[in-house]
Amino acid sequence: MAHHAHEPQVTVLPPDKAKIKKLWTVALYLLLITIVEFIIAFSVPHEYKQLRVWVFVALTIVKAGYIVGEFMHLRYEVKVLFWSILIPIIFIVWMLVAFVYEGIKMPVFQ
Amino acid sequence: MGASYGKLMMWFFLLSDAFTFSGLLITYGLVRSSHQAYEGLVSTFTFSTEYWPVPEKVFEAVPFLHGYELPLVFVGIMTFILIMSSVTMVLAVEAGHRMDRKAVEKWMLWTIIGGVTFLSCQAWEWTHFIVGTGVPTMKDVFNTETGLWEQIPILGANLHVNQYGPQPFADFFFFITGFHGFHVFSGVMLNFLIYYNTVTGVYERRGHYEMVEKVGLYWHFVDLVWVFVFTFFYLV
């Protein structure tokens, strides 16, 4: 095509080895945490329901932290952006606590 | 502010989307915790509309391995696929920073393959869930002709009947995994658009690959939501 003559000169930089290695390390952590969740799911008896739930929730938050912080790069963004995303999450936590508490107290289906 | 307008808006869209998904998952938590939990031994668990099912007893089928009880194995494979496609996406973003068109093409293609594979897995899981398997669950139904209550066998689930437990369990399964699956589908479409623009050299002429980064944010968010769905729907 004609406009090929006007293609800009592109300089391709070599791969950032350290960065790529870090990304694969994060992926490895995510997989390891998931494997740990599986091990807990089948080794900790269902009688310890509370313990299971809290461990699962904690591991999920760790995984979410890695995805948002590293993959979505939020850790390295400017502080204003970081906090304007994190602070509204408080409302979700509040909603979660309030509604699940309500559900436990609700006698309709018991 | 140090962040581009487009990225900023993507972040705020994702925040609003996080609220939507939280609404669904929290309602699930509310309804689930208001239902009777299964009290007996997991090994002797049977499906009943009287109590909420143990998820690992519902999701234990794997394609081509009919008849084997493999709890949560298939959903584990799906989680693995989605995490891997998140990695290939972030590698595409890294290649974009270096203006390496060939590498962006390669990693975008892998990401698209990962997304399509995940959707195919979900299609299988939905089919299996809808068709049902094993011993039917009995349900009380009022017969308007005889004026008597009758028991009918239920196999599989839809928005009217549910083999696996109380009706809301099936409803939430369809709505939560369906809404997430719809996000994955949209993500695959966006990824393809990015791939197409990369191949045709749109971003090379533009001088930067920021679109890869923005759609990457969306794709990681879809992975993030799956992490929560996996924990709250399948594990807990």
Return phi, psi of residue B147, to 5°.
75, 25
Query: How far apart, in whole angstroms, are the C-alpha atoms of residue A24 and residue B87?
Result: 7
Q: Which of A24, A75, A89, A109 to mutate to test the interface with B (most CBs of B within 10 A)?
A: A109
Return phi, psi of residue B158, to 5°.
-150, -160
pLDDT digit of tens for each residue in chain A (110 aa)?
A: 555 556 667 888 999 899 999 999 999 999 999 999 999 988 888 888 889 889 999 999 999 999 999 999 999 999 999 999 999 999 998 998 888 888 888 766 54
Residue A33's H or E segment, with its range, is: helix A17-43
Rounded to two decimals, the pTM is 0.91
Q: Which chain B residue is nearest to residue A85, measuring alpha carbons?
A: B15
**Cβ neighbours, 10 Å, residue A8:** 10
Domains of chain A by residue range: 17-72, 78-104
Query: How far apart, in whole angstroms, are the C-alpha atoms of residue B192 and residue A19?
Result: 25
Query: How far apart, in whole angstroms, are the C-alpha atoms of residue B148 and residue A34?
Result: 50
Per-residue tokens: B11: 């972040």
**Which of B:3-22 have CB within 8 Å of A?**
3, 8, 11, 15, 18-19, 22
Q: Which chain B residue is nearest to residue A87, measuring alpha carbons?
A: B15
Average pLDDT, chain B: 92
Residue numbers in A near B18 (CB within 8 A): 89, 92
Query: How far apart, in whole angstroms, are the C-alpha atoms of residue B212 and residue B97?
Result: 10
Mark yes or no for CB contact B26/A99 under 8 Å.
Answer: yes
Mark yes or no for CB contact A12/B91 under 8 Å.
Answer: no
Query: How far apart, in whole angstroms, are the C-alpha atoms of residue B78 and residue B93?
Result: 23
Window from B3-12, B115-124, B182-191, B220-229 with minimum mean pLDDT: B3-12
Among the listed residues A48, A95, A68, the one whose alpha carbon sits nearest the alpha carbon of residue B217: A68
Has residue B178 got a pLDDT over 80?
A: yes
Q: CB within 8 A of B32, min separation 6: which ones?
A: A103, B52, B168, B169
CATH superfamily for B5-235 is: Cytochrome c oxidase, subunit III, four-helix bundle (1.20.120.80)
Domains of chain B by residue range: 5-235
The pLDDT score that the predictor gives to residue A109 is: 55
User: Do A53 and A61 meet the contact criterion of CB atoms below 8 Å apart?
Assistant: no
Between the alpha carbon of residue B77 and those of residues A34, B83, B107, B130, the distances in Å are: 11, 10, 20, 20
The pLDDT tens digits of the residues spanning B203-228 come to: 999 999 999 999 999 999 999 999 99
The pLDDT tens digits of the residues spanning B38-95 come to: 888 888 888 988 899 998 889 988 888 877 788 888 999 999 999 999 999 999 999 9
